[in-house]
Amino acid sequence: MIVIPGPSSLGLGWRIAERCGVEPQPVEHRVFPDGESYIKFTKPVFGEKVVIVQTTAPNPDTRLMQLLLMARTAKDFGAKDIVAVVPYLAYARQDKRFTELEALSLDVIFSLLECSGVTDLVTVNIHNETSTRDVERKHRVRFHNLSAVPLLAEYLKKEGFDKAYSLSPDKGAIYIAEDASKVLEGGYNFFEKTRDRKTGEITMAVKDLNISGRRAVVFDDMISSGGTMAKAVEALMAQGAERVAAACTHVLYMPGTEEKIRKAGADPIIATNTIETPFSRVSVAGLIANKLKELE
């Protein structure tokens, strides 16, 4: 097996290679002044299973293009199998047509991966696994989705959140709160969230959760603008929670995100290293390496 840490996941790719017991093989890479990427492999890949680790944020379009260049180069030079490990997969939120005449972005991404030679796609907490499976069925790319939620919960358990109440910001993500509560053992629930598809504005219906004086954690797959997480944390603080943690797998870390969530009262804010940010407290290297060993 050859593990290539892509330009966006050098640290994580390196750690995954180590855990798989192989020498990491980074590529030669540059970005030209006009923004185009250049990629060159440093070792032959003929007849090998090639694992490319490349997350797709920040700069999703550039990172995706680099991923496609690496996959296609592996295919051109005779790799046997090409596994794309994309811990955070950009465009996954547009996994169906929500309104008429929209692009079905995730389907386009699968097509591009498939024609670049990718045989397997490994992601972590993709936005909606069920919708992604519908897209997968149209392609010859095997899709594997891993969950970092138990790891996040284990981390928080050691940080004083044992028996804390677990919440997901919407019903669709209830499985996340449920999985976390198996570790934290403090019960779980969800908020009723609606988002205006045109303006992006979020409204969140709050139930009486009876959490006065208790600790709680809001778990989500991702924090983007921070609006969802901030509203959920705010609602829990308003109901008298003693302390509320914000936990997610991916943080996109856009300007203003952190302030918004801190102002709502979250402490701490934690995430994994699917995208390296100051909130990366939990590593997914072992989780991914175990999956790769299973695929051998």
Q: Which amino acid is at 273?
A: N
CA–CA dist 231, 154 (Å, integer): 24
Of 48 and 234, nearer to ligand R5P (C-beta) is: 234
Shortest Å, Cβ 135 to ligand R5P: 17
**Distance (Å) of CA 121 to CA 42, 250, 275:** 23, 17, 17
Shortest Å, Cβ 280 to ligand R5P: 17
Q: Strand, coil or helix: what is 120? A: strand
Q: 198: Cβ–Cβ under 8 A, 6 or more apart, which residues?
A: none
Range list of H helices, the chain: 10-20, 60-76, 105-115, 129-136, 149-156, 174-184, 227-238, 257-264, 285-295
User: How many helices and strands, by DSSP H and E, does the chain display?
Assistant: 9, 15
Residues that bind ligand R5P (CB under 6 A): 169-170, 173, 220-229
Shortest Å, Cβ 214 to ligand R5P: 23
CA–CA dist 2, 20 (Å, integer): 10
The DSSP output letter for 208 is: -
Q: What is the torsional sign of CA 231, 237, 239, 244?
A: positive
Distance from chain centroid for Cα 248: 9
Shortest Å, Cβ 202 to ligand R5P: 6
Q: β-strands 202-205, 192-195: how paired?
A: antiparallel
Of 271 and 289, nearer to ligand R5P (C-beta) is: 271
Is position 193 annotated as part of the catalytic site? yes
Residue written as tokens 């944020």? Answer: 57
Of 77 and 175, nearer to ligand R5P (C-beta) is: 175
Distance from chain centroid for Cα 101: 27
Tally of CB atoms within 10 A around 4: 27
CA–CA dist 267, 218 (Å, integer): 11
Q: What is the torsional sign of CA 258, 260, 262, 267?
A: negative
Shortest Å, Cβ 113 to ligand R5P: 22
Of 27 and 232, nearer to ligand R5P (C-beta) is: 232
Shortest Å, Cβ 32 to ligand R5P: 32
Of 209 and 248, nearer to ligand R5P (C-beta) is: 248
Of 62 and 225, nearer to ligand R5P (C-beta) is: 225
The one catalytic residue in 40, 43, 171, 193 is: 193
List active site positions: 193
